[in-house]
Amino acid sequence: MTASGVRAVRVMLGSGGIAAAMPAVGATGGALPGYFGQWLSGLALVVGAILILGWLLRRMPGVGTQAHQAIEILAVRAIGARERVLLIQVGTEQLLLGVAPSGIRCLHRLREPVAVASSPEPPGQEPTFARIFRPQCETRRAS
C-alpha cells in the first residue's frame, strides 16, 4: 500500500466515517439472538398448531364432511380385535361389509332394507367404559 493509500485510510477512520457508522461488536446487546429466538418459537407454535388441528380433524367423525351424504353407516359390530362388520346404506340399497386389516369385502346385498333402531351412540362408535360403568354407579348410589 502506498503512503497516500495509508493516509486515505487514516483520514476515513480518523474522521469517524466507517468507525462511527458501524457499531462495535457486542454493542447491540444480543438483539439478533433474541429476535431469532422469537421468530423460531413463533414458527414452532404455528407448525404445532397446524399439526394438532390436523390430528383433531382426523379423530373427530363428521368434521369436515357434508351433512347429507349418499353413503351412511347404519350399524357397526366388532367381530374380533381388528375385524368389523358394517351395515351401510347407499341410496336405497343396503350392504353388509366385512372389514379386516387385509381389506374390505361385500358379504351380502340386502334385498329388503333392515330397519335399524337408533342408539344413543353415534354410528361407528362402540360404547366406552364410562358409558357402561355410569348406570352401574347410579344404581349403587340409589340403593
What distance, in Å, lies between the first and last C-alpha atoms of the chain? 104
Q: What is the pLDDT of residue 41?
A: 93
Average pLDDT of span 120-126: 55
Distance of CA 13 to the CA centre of its chain: 58
User: Which of 105, 113, 40, 47 has its CA nearest to residue 74?
Assistant: 113
Ramachandran angles phi, psi of 15, nearest 5° = -80, -5
**pLDDT single digits (tens) 75-98:** 889 988 999 999 998 888 899 999
CB 116 within 8 A of CB 87: yes
**Poorest-confidence range of 17-26, 38-47, 51-60, 128-137?**
17-26
Cell 349418499 found at: 70
DSSP 50-72: HHHHHHHHHHSTTTTS-SS-SEE
Phi-psi map region of 92: left, alpha, beta (phi>0 left; psi -120 to 50 alpha): alpha
Note the pLDDT of residue 113: 81
Domain ranges within the chain, ordered by starting residue: 3-59, 71-142
> Per-residue pLDDT for 48 more than 60?
yes
Under the banding of pLDDT at 50, 70 and 90, the label for residue 20 is very low
> Considering only CA atoms, which of 119, 111, 80 is closest in space to residue 95?
111
Mean pLDDT for all residues in the chain: 74
